[in-house]
Amino acid sequence: MTQLKDLNWPAYIRGFADRRETWKQYRFLLLPEDNIFIGSYILFPFPNFIIILIQRYMSSLKLLVAQLLLGLITFSQYSLAVDCSSFQQYMGCRSGQETKNPDDWANRSFQTFLPGDPQYKPEFESLGRIMCYSNIVYAGDRQSATVELRCRKHTSIQKVQYNFNNAGWVDTATFKVDKSFSGQNLPILVKGIDTDGKEWQNTMEPLNFLWQAENVPQSDAYKKGQKGAIIEMFGWPWADIRDECAALGKMGWMGVKVFPPQESVFSMEWPQNGELNPWWFYYQPVSYRLDSRHGTRAELREMIQTCRKAGVRIYADAVVNHMSGGGNDIWASHRNGGGNWCTYWGPKTSTGSSPYFTHSFTWQLSNNTNLMPGTEFPGATYIPTDFHCERSLSSWTDPFQLNNGWLSGLTDLDTESDYVRERIAAYFTDLLSIGFSGFRMDAAKHIKPDSIAAILYKFKNNLGGGELPDDWITWLEVLLGGEKDLLMCNKDSGYNYGQGLADSLQKAGLSQGDIYKVKIWQSDYPKEFPACGWVIPSERFVAQLDCHDDQNPGSSSRDMGDTGSVLVREKNVDKHRNFNKQLFQRTDGNWQIKLVLSSYSFMNNGAMGIPDGKSDCSKCVGAVCNSCSKSMPFSKAHDPNVCGYTCQVNGSWQEGVYTRVHRDYQTIQAMRDWQGLPKVTNPSDLGLPGNCGNSASEAGFLASETQ
At how many degrees (to 10) do helices 573-585 and 665-675 cross?
10
503 and 538 Cβ atoms separated by less than 8 Å:
no
Which of 112, 195, 102 is closest to 157 using CA atoms?
195
Ramachandran region, residue 514 (left: φ > 0; alpha: ψ -120 to 50; beta: rest): alpha
* CA angle (579, 582, 583) in 5-degree steps: 90
pLDDT, tens digit, 9 for 90 and up, residues 18-50? 333 322 232 233 233 322 222 232 223 333 333
The predicted structure's pLDDT at residue 303: 98
Could you confirm whether 194 is annotated as catalytic? no
The predicted structure's pLDDT at residue 30: 29
Report the distance separating Cα 275 and Cα 47, nearest Å.
Answer: 44
Task: Examine the pLDDT at 522 and tell me if it is beyond 90.
Answer: yes
pLDDT, tens digit, 9 for 90 and up, residues 138-193? 999 999 999 999 999 999 999 999 999 999 999 999 999 999 999 999 999 999 99
- Strand ranges in 339-486 using DSSP code E only, listed in sequence order: 341-345, 349-350, 410-412, 438-441, 473-476
Task: Examine the pLDDT at 571 and tell me if it is beyond 90.
Answer: yes
Beta partners for residue 519, in sequence order:
475
pLDDT, tens digit, 9 for 90 and up, residues 379-399? 999 999 999 999 999 999 999
User: Which residue type sits at 88?
Assistant: Q
The predicted structure's pLDDT at residue 481: 86
| Confidence bin at 556 (pLDDT 50/70/90) | low
pLDDT, tens digit, 9 for 90 and up, residues 656-691? 999 999 999 999 999 999 999 999 999 999 999 999
Q: Which stretch of DSSP H or E encloses residue 39?
A: none
Quick one: what percent of the chain has pLDDT higher than 90? Answer: 84
Catalytic entry in 83, 390, 422, 442: 442
Q: What is the DSSP string of 254-312?
A: -EEEPS--S-BEE-SS--BTTBSS-GGGGGSBS-SSS-BTTB-HHHHHHHHHHHHHTT-
pLDDT, tens digit, 9 for 90 and up, residues 52-105? 333 334 444 443 444 444 343 333 333 344 789 999 999 999 989 999 999 999
Average pLDDT of the chain to the nearest whole number: 89
Q: What is the DSSP string of 211-268?
A: GGSPP----GGGGGGTSEEEEEETT--HHHHHHHHHHHHHHT--EEEPS--S-BEE-S
Catalytic entry in 148, 232, 477, 698: 477
Could you confirm whether 477 is annotated as catalytic? yes
Rounded CA Rg of the chain: 27
Task: Examine the pLDDT at 516 and tell me if it is beyond 80.
Answer: yes
Q: How far is CA 432 from the centre of its chain?
A: 17
Q: Is 695 exposed, middle or buried (0-12, 13-18, 19+ CB in 10 A)?
A: exposed
The predicted structure's pLDDT at residue 61: 44
The predicted structure's pLDDT at residue 557: 65
Which of 683, 690, 684 is closest to 707 using CA atoms?
690
